[in-house]
Chain A
Amino acid sequence: MEETRAAEWNSSGWTFEQAMRRLEEIVRQLEAGDLPLDASIRAYEESMKLVKFCREQLDKAEFQLEKLGQELADESVSP
């Protein structure tokens, strides 16, 4: 069956880049429209999870950057 090819995604142990790649792949498959119906429903569901995960990762990264910048700024106030 077609859907065995697409290893089901779960958030544990995936890097952001892997998730992005997977998301791109799914979008491509959905756009091509050659997945069986139930597989494409599952793919859509998976893509939603991926988008959520990636968004969270980016938010987290940005927050960390902000935090680090703040810490450095605090430090360099007293030379």
Chain B
Amino acid sequence: MNALTRAADAAEAVLSVTELNRRIKERLESDPRLLQCRVVGEISNFKHHPSGHMYFTLKDETSRIRAVMFSSRNRRLQFQPEDGMRVIAFGSVGVFERDGQYQLYVEDLEPDGLGALYVRYEQLRQQLAAEGLFAQERKRRLPRFPLRVGVVTSPTGAVIRDICTTIERRYPLARVVLAPAQVQGPDAAPTIVRALELLYGLEPKVDVIIVGRGGGSLEELWPFNEEMVVRAVARSPVPVVSAVGHETDVTLCDFAADVRAATPTAAAELVCPHQAELRAYLEQALARARKAAFVKVAWWRDRLSDLATRPVLRDPARIIAARRQLVDYIETRVREAQRRPIGLRRRTLAELERRLQRVELRGAIQARRRDLMRLEHQLQSLAERQVLLQSRKLDAMIGKLEALNPLAVLRRGYGVILDEDGQSVITSAQSLVPGKRIGIRMHDGTVEAEVKARGGDAGGRVEQLRLDL
């Protein structure tokens, strides 16, 4: 026996998947406990489809269920669902037959408990911050000496009392103008906005506004997180001090205000100076003003004494002295100018004379020098020529002398007959008588001889002489 045959035994037809899913669907959707139920859980796998539908999973520690929220439903949501957010979903369980999936069809969704307020707070904060409402550049300085301080708070609470006492004590000059408002409950926000608007339109104007209430739970402080209140604070024409709750409570109103005070009393201290501080400040300002005034006088005095001690003023004789000097100078020049023609001519003449002298002398000297040089040249060439001439003459004479040289004749064998003393030449045979002693001079020496006899002929030949050497 198997299951199939048993099913057949049960006289049931075999079901298609579609038929099965439809049965499941009918069963689930007819259970009143699964209709219109509220489920708390954490969102995961959140997807906002372009069609506008939201698909996500709701889960707790041990289980999960798929959920869908159609665009027609989610359009009215006050917040943007996100993964990890704890929510309470309101809806019915149904089956998506195509996938055989049961899921929660969500009709409404709200953040769970305190988380819900926090989510709204956080989302509004981000939105307004993105708009620049909390920008640091928007923050204004508080007036130093306010005459009228506007206060938006409950007319009966401790807040207004604290503010009034503090201002009375510190700075009685300032008047407090109260614009009453409800500071908690669902209707509080519009009354706060109205009170603010009242102060904005007030004439004469308030110089600064304090918005405040005492401490409380997040819900109690909630009006100060409402968008309309935050925007109203942000558009204030005068600086706003926000003093909502205690130090640890930070509302969006605090972000939008120009200054945040931890408590209403602190706010009152911030908006006005303390009398004592003011007195001290006045003293200081006075001292500074006094000093500045004296410094100014001293400065002018310096300038004045600088001018008064300039040489022209200190020693007015200079005014004359300068002119006297000028007169002297001019006088000197005039005198010089008068003297100039004669002196100049005299100098010119002397100069000319000197130049003339130099010119003449120099010319003469040079001409003479040139003459001299020319003469020297002439002389020299003359002398040279003379020397040449003479030396030629000498040569010729030497030649002649050579020819006349008796020694040369003697060398050819002639002898010269000399007298006995060798003193004179005997040129005629007539003087030679036999026995006469004579000298015969040859070219290489002299001999003595004696004439023996004489030929008869005229022009007798010497060879005929018998020489007795």
Give the chain B neighbours of A41 by CB distance below 8 A: 319
A63 to chain B, nearest CB (A): 10
Give the chain A neighbours of B316 by CB distance below 8 A: 44
B242 to chain A, nearest CB (A): 35
Select from chain B the residue with minimum beta-carbon distance to A17: B300
Chain A window 16-37, contacts with chain B (Cβ cutoff 8 Å), 1 for yes, 0 for no: 1000100110010011010001
- Verify if B293 is at the interface (C-beta below 8 Å from A): yes
Interface of B is mostly: helix
Q: In the complex, are the beta carbons of B310 and A20 less than 8 A apart?
A: no
Q: In the complex, are the beta carbons of B301 and A58 less than 8 A apart?
A: yes
Residues of B near any A CB (own CB < 8 A) = 279, 283, 286, 290, 293-294, 297, 300-301, 303-304, 307-308, 310, 312-313, 316, 319-320, 322-323
Residues of A near any B CB (own CB < 8 A) = 16, 20, 23-24, 27, 30-31, 33, 37, 40-41, 44, 47-48, 51, 54-55, 58, 61-62, 65, 69, 72, 76, 79
Give Cα A62–Cα B298 distance, bound, in whole angstroms.
9
Q: In the complex, are the beta carbons of B313 and A58 less than 8 A apart?
A: no
Give Cα A33–Cα B319 distance, bound, in whole angstroms.
8
Select from chain A the residue with minimum beta-carbon distance to B316: A44
Give Cα A55–Cα B293 distance, bound, in whole angstroms.
16
Given A41-B319, A65-B297, is A54 in contact with B313 using a C-beta cutoff of 8 Å?
no
Supply 20 A–B pairs (Cβ within 8 Å), ascending by A. A16-B300, A20-B300, A23-B304, A23-B307, A27-B310, A27-B312, A27-B313, A30-B310, A30-B312, A31-B310, A33-B322, A37-B320, A40-B319, A44-B313, A51-B307, A55-B304, A61-B293, A62-B294, A65-B293, A65-B297
Q: In the complex, are the beta carbons of B319 and A44 less than 8 A apart?
A: yes
Select from chain A the residue with minimum beta-carbon distance to B311: A31
Q: In the complex, are the beta carbons of B304 and A48 less than 8 A apart?
A: no
Q: In the complex, are the beta carbons of A47 and B313 less than 8 A apart?
A: yes
B176 to chain A, nearest CB (A): 25
Give the chain A neighbours of B320 by CB distance below 8 A: 37
Given A41-B319, A44-B316, A76-B283, is A62 in contact with B304 using a C-beta cutoff of 8 Å?
no
Total A-B contacts with CB atoms under 8 angstroms apart = 53
Q: In the complex, are the beta carbons of B300 and A79 less than 8 A apart?
A: no
Give the chain A neighbours of B293 by CB distance below 8 A: 61, 65
Give the chain B neighbours of A44 by CB distance below 8 A: 312-313, 316, 319
Q: In the complex, are the beta carbons of B307 and A27 less than 8 A apart?
A: yes
Give the chain B neighbours of A69 by CB distance below 8 A: 290
Q: Which 4 residue pairs are nearest across A and B when measured between Cβ atoms?
A: A30-B312, A51-B308, A54-B304, A44-B316
Q: In the complex, are the beta carbons of A31 and B300 less than 8 A apart?
A: no
Q: In the complex, are the beta carbons of B301 and A30 less than 8 A apart?
A: no
Q: In the complex, are the beta carbons of B279 and A79 less than 8 A apart?
A: yes
Q: In the complex, are the beta carbons of B313 and A37 less than 8 A apart?
A: no
B326 to chain A, nearest CB (A): 9
A59 to chain B, nearest CB (A): 9
Give Cα A65–Cα B322 distance, bound, in whole angstroms.
43
Give the chain A neighbours of B286 by CB distance below 8 A: 72
Give the chain A neighbours of B297 by CB distance below 8 A: 58, 61-62, 65
B300 to chain A, nearest CB (A): 6
Give Cα A55–Cα B305 distance, bound, in whole angstroms.
9
Q: In the complex, are the beta carbons of A51 and B319 less than 8 A apart?
A: no
Q: Tell which of A20, A33, A48, A55 touches B313, judged by Cβ atoms closer than 8 Å.
A: A48
Q: Tell which of A30, A37, A65, A76 touches B323, judged by Cβ atoms closer than 8 Å.
A: A37
Given A30-B319, A47-B313, A72-B286, is A20 in contact with B294 using a C-beta cutoff of 8 Å?
no
Give the chain A neighbours of B300 by CB distance below 8 A: 16, 20, 54, 58
